[in-house]
């Protein structure tokens, strides 16, 4: 099969965005959101998801489903990427911390909306690949480093938002501490490979979190640096 042209990929990307918007409406009873903001839609419509997959997987880039990227990790379903971004309620001057860079696709979506994106990836090879890919695509407001996401990025805190793209049994305390007052945290909570729930939390002025369960989800587990899959 000959490789797809950029025009064909663009049409597939547009269909993907249409499917995302339909799914957002269908899940509004859980999420409380019946539409995406124009900025999130624009980001999903713009970013070439096929650039974040292996060349052999380009044909599957615009299916509304997750896909493996090696090392036991995945690139998330586009609907989930869009929804998690929407739930962060990012402002153009916002600073966001991402835990779990993975392929860098979610990172790019965040960078289209927020002022600065700081991303941590436990798997060093994935961090290196994502950093190179994002640089090739022209992103200059993103910093990626290999490290333990449980620890956050203390020297750059506080953050307006924190997004975790892997499941944890609870929100890591360091991430909560590094979230500024009024900041938003979006994280899948649950035991590995068991029932998980996407949680959105807002940090109160007294440091506590006001949390709400959003949607049943399935994510790979959050891992510590040194314990990442090989």
Q: Omega of the bond prior to 212 within 30 degrees of 0, cis?
A: no
Residues annotated as catalytic (active site), given as ranges: 76
Tens digits of residue pLDDT in 9-51:
999 999 999 999 999 999 999 999 999 999 999 999 999 999 9
Tokens 């586009």 map to which residue?
78
How far apart CA 100 and CA 79 sit, in angstroms, is 17
Q: Domains of the chain (ranges plus CATH)?
A: 6-217 (3.40.50.150)
C-alpha separations of 180 from 53, 84, 98 in Å? 34, 19, 15
Tens digits of residue pLDDT in 172-216:
999 999 999 999 999 999 987 788 999 999 999 999 999 999 999
What is the per-residue pLDDT for 228?
52
C-alpha dihedral sign at 143, 50, 226, 172 = positive
- pTM for this structure? 0.94
Residues 6+ apart with CB under 8 A from 113: 39, 40, 43, 85, 90, 92, 94
What is the per-residue pLDDT for 3?
81
């Amino acid at each position: 099969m000959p490789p797809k042209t950029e025009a064909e990929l663009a049409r597939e990307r547009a269909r993907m965005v249409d499917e995302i918007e339909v799914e957002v409406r269908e899940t509004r009873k859980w999420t409380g959101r019946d539409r995406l903001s124009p900025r999130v839609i624009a980001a999903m419509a713009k970013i070439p998801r096929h650039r974040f997959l292996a060349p052999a997987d380009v044909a599957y880039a615009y299916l509304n489903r997750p896909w493996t990227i090696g090392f036991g990790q995945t690139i998330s379903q586009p609907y989930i990427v869009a929804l998690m971004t929407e739930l962060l309620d990012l402002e153009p001057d916002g600073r966001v911390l991402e835990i779990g860079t993975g392929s860098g696709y979610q990172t790019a979506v965040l960078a289209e909306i927020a002022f600065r994106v700081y991303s941590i990836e436990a798997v060093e090879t994935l961090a290196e690949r994502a950093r190179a890919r994002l640089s090739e695509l022209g992103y200059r407001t993103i910093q990626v480093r290999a490290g333990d996401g449980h620890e956050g990025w203390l020297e750059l805190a506080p953050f307006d938002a924190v997004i975790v793209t892997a499941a944890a049994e609870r929100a890591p305390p360091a991430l909560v501490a590094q979230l500024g007052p009024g900041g938003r945290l979006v994280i899948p909570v649950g035991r590995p490979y068991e029932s998980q729930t996407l949680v959105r939390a807002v940090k109160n002025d007294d440091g506590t979190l006001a949390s709400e369960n959003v949607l049943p989800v399935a994510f790979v587990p959050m891992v510590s640096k040194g314990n990442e899959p090989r």
